[in-house]
Structures are given as C-alpha cells and as structure tokens.
Amino acid sequence: MANPNILCTRIDNRLIHGQVGVTWVNHLGANLIIVANDKVAEDEVQQNLMDMVVSDAVQTRYFTVQKTIDIIFKASPRQKIFLVVKDIHDALRLKEGGVPIDYVNVGNMHFEEGKRQISSTVSVDEADIQACKRLNELGVELDVRRVPNERGQNLMDLI
C-alpha cells in the first residue's frame, strides 16, 4: 500500500484557524485537513467552528489519534493531506503508531504554568522536551515556523 500524501504535519494548539485554514492550506495546495486529536474528535461544536474558517474546496476530518493511525493508509493519492495536531505528544503518538511523518511544522505551543518560552509562539515543559527528543531520534525534523514565508528554526536548537 502506498504512503498517504501528507504534505505537512503541523502542531498548533489552536488547530484550525485563519493561519492554518487559509495561509497554510493555500501554500501547501492541500485539499484535506485532518485534525488528529482525541478531544476534538468528539466535539462537534468545535469542529463546526473550525469548518467556518476553511474554504468549501477543502475537506476536513476530525479523528482521534488512534483512528488516524488506523485509517491514514486508506487515503487516496488524490487527497493532499495537511495533518494538524494540538501538541507534540499527539505528533509523537502518530509517528510511533506508524504514520509516515518526517517533518513537523511547530506553529504554536502556548505558554502555560510550568512551561518556558523558547520562541515567540512555542513554550515547552520537560515532557514536551522528551517528546521532541524522541521524535528527533525517530528522524523527524521539527521546524518552528508560524507562517510559510517565515524562516524556520530547528526546534532542537532551541531546547
């Protein structure tokens, strides 16, 4: 079975918003956004709000992380997938579950109690750092970048 046509995987704790639903989708040429997150997969209100940001030409799917792992290889080659996750831990679960992710765009990991800010949009705690290191060991490039035309930074250089 062929690998799914995943154009980009992005970590953004806001999931789909203007930057993701318009700027990144247009830059990538994606026609499908898959949000892989256990809570959002069960929250139709949040899904409907996110769908309002996306063009009618782009489909959206909201799956749990496990369902994404289970079905990603059933994707059609015509599906140009933009995979969006809420945090580094969902990205790691996908990679360890066999989803072919070699590159992750780290867009937003908001600051909260117990985290330290390492860039204008990324804050991490020790658990996040361990997940980053594990993804790095698995050969995943972690690129901190808010928007496509911004120069990225290797997350491993920042932690």
Question: Residue 66's CB: how many other CB atoms inside 10 A?
Answer: 14
Let me know if 17 is a catalytic residue: yes
Take residue 9 and report the two structure tokens written for it: 């995987």
Helix (H/G/I), strand (E/B), else coil: 62: strand
Range list of H helices, the chain:
18, 25-28, 44-51, 65-71, 88-96, 126-137, 155-158
* Pairing of β 153-154 and β 141-144: antiparallel
- The catalytically annotated residue of 17, 27, 89, 110 is 17
Active site amino acids: 17
